Structure 1
Amino acid sequence: MSDKEESVNVIVDLSHWEEGVDFKLAKEDGIQGVIHKATQGLKYIDLTYAERRKAAEEEGLMWGAYHFGVGENGKDQAEHFLETVGDNSQVLLALDIEENQNGKNITPEQAEDFVAKVHEETGRFPLIYGSAYFLEDFATPTLTKCPLWLAKWGAEPTLPVGWRNWILWQYTDGQTGPKPHEVEGIGACDRNKFNGTLEELRDFWIS
């Protein structure tokens, strides 16, 4: 998909850090999709993940899951992620690549192993989330096959080397970046634009 003028601002990404989430109110405020932290590293599971998935799907929201990558075996991280997610046939999958403040960062080789395992098990490439700065060492032939979920809290997206377009753009963390920052039923949070129409978003989500 090329970078178009047309985009839809209907996606949030969440983790246990957001409290008191009401998906009914969020949907009424225009949210169509939620990407939630599922796992990190080899053992960690976000304890709000399963309950919130059920609640979001009951409201008819599209559901996504992301794994926060760390400097451990990539295949093992992918297995932990997929086991936690369970049925992923309708779930958008993503690998979060950013600084790990509690240990070693994931390496490009570990990220490749993660992606390869997810592709082997699901037939799909996960999204790669990250900033242009942090992803500058991750522009490998395997990783650039993955759709880009760009983190850039500013007025315009900035692509990392190796990717020609973005599919999702996290334009705010709820404080920095263009407005709107908030969502009814959630409050200030990470908000994301999709590079296309709502119909294209629905097709992409389960492709």
Structure 2
Amino acid sequence: MGIYGQDWASYQPAQPDTSGISFAFVKVTEGLSYINPVWHTQRDHAKANGLVWGAYHYPHMGNSPQAEADYFLSQVNWQPGDLVVLDWEGYDSANANVPKSTQVAYKEAWLRYVKGRLPHNPVGMYANTDYWRNVDTSGYYGDFLWIATAGRNAGDPGIQAAWLFHQYSDNGVDRDYCHLASTAELRAWALSFQPSPAPAPTPSQETDMPQWITGPVAPGAQPTVVLLPHGSAWNQFNRRLHLGMDQISDKPVKGSVRVALHNGAAWHGIKNVALDAGAGVVDVDITAPDVKLSLQTDAAGVSYSIEVW
């Protein structure tokens, strides 16, 4: 069980019949100078009718593969899920005298270069069984192989390589088969090359919040102002100010800190807190509405810590 499609060039109408098909490949460019004059209309018609759409380039393999790839890629505003194809064959006058080794090198370079330019779209190769068996030497076809045969049933191209599309007839219009089960499955496969969306950032949880805020209290007339964690996320937490003095001296060193709390409307709780370098820390409670505090001292070696728990 599989699905059917077609490939179109300027030989086909601008709006071919899409009855019974799931995908369409459209020729966009050839060499470095040709553009299919109706490819835009054919693409829009295919997408409007729910088809998975792909574009292909027919090469002149005596040219630079990078230059031809750039020419091709520049024509299209590529979208997620668009298929990208090199039509690798060379029976025409532009390619007949190009050495087969050069044709192989062209194919390898074109596919790898285009994949580098479009890493999030499937990039593959079309070839008939003659080119696949007698010209190719590496087996490299990018992300997918579209194989063409004559006189074989759809889905039975007669090759061992893993193929995705099979062109089984060129009677009137080139007809193709894909072994995936549905249009939706083919579309999902084409879109699978897109990068996964970045996970949404995890909202901060209370357990992620800082537990301690510490710093020195600079001596002098200018107070040290500390902004306190506050707001609805902090309502369930307790907060406490610890003050300490750290000086090494033969004589006990003492000092004081003028503490003032601000609740968003006014200063309150203003008091002098005595400190002793030979003793421990002194605690000052912080009330729930408080948003900042002011610390002023003339003593050296004073530090503060705000505990949140």
Q: Could you say whether these structures have the same fold, taking a TM-score greater than 0.5 normalized by the shorter chain as the test?
A: yes
- What TM-score, normalized by structure 2, do the two folds share? 0.54
Q: CA deviation at 1:102?
A: 2.8
- 2:275 match: none
Equivalent residues in 2 for 1:58-137, closer than 5 Å:
58-71=48-61, 72-104=63-95, 107-123=103-119, 124-136=121-133, 137=135
Structure 2 SS opposite 1:107: helix
Q: Judging changes above 3 Å, is the alpha-carbon distance between structure 1 residues 20 and 122 closer, same or farther for their aligned structure 2 residues?
A: closer
Higher helix fraction (1 or 2): 1
Q: CA deviation at 1:33?
A: 1.1
Higher strand fraction (1 or 2): 2
CA distance in 2, matches of 1:158, 1:41: 30
The residue type equivalent to 1:7 in the other structure is G
Residue by residue over 1:4-36, the C-alpha shift from the partner in whole angstroms, topping out at 9 and shown as x without a partner, is xx322x2110100113634xx42xx21121100
Query: Which residue of 167, 179, 186 corresponds with 1:201?
Result: 186
CA distance in 2, matches of 1:165, 1:192: 16
- What TM-score, normalized by structure 1, do the two folds share? 0.78
CA distance in 2, matches of 1:87, 1:165: 26
- 1:3 match: none
Percent identity over paired residues: 23
**Aligned residue pairs: how many?**
180
5+ long unaligned stretches in structure 1: 1-5, 175-187
Query: Which residue of 174, 187, 196 corresponds with 1:190?
Result: 174
User: Would the aligned equivalents of 1:69 and 1:111 in 2 still touch at CA under 8 Å?
Assistant: no
Query: Which residue of 12, 15, 29 corresponds with 1:18?
Result: 12
Residue by residue over 1:110-157, the C-alpha shift from the partner in whole angstroms, topping out at 9 and shown as x without a partner, is 11111111111111452211112112332426x244411010122331
Structure 2 SS opposite 1:85: coil
Q: Judging changes above 3 Å, is the alpha-carbon distance between structure 1 residues 128 and 190 closer, same or farther for their aligned structure 2 residues?
A: same
CA distance in 2, matches of 1:16, 1:67: 13
> Computing the radius of gyration over CA atoms, which structure comes out larger, 1 or 2?
2
5+ long unaligned stretches in structure 2: 194-309
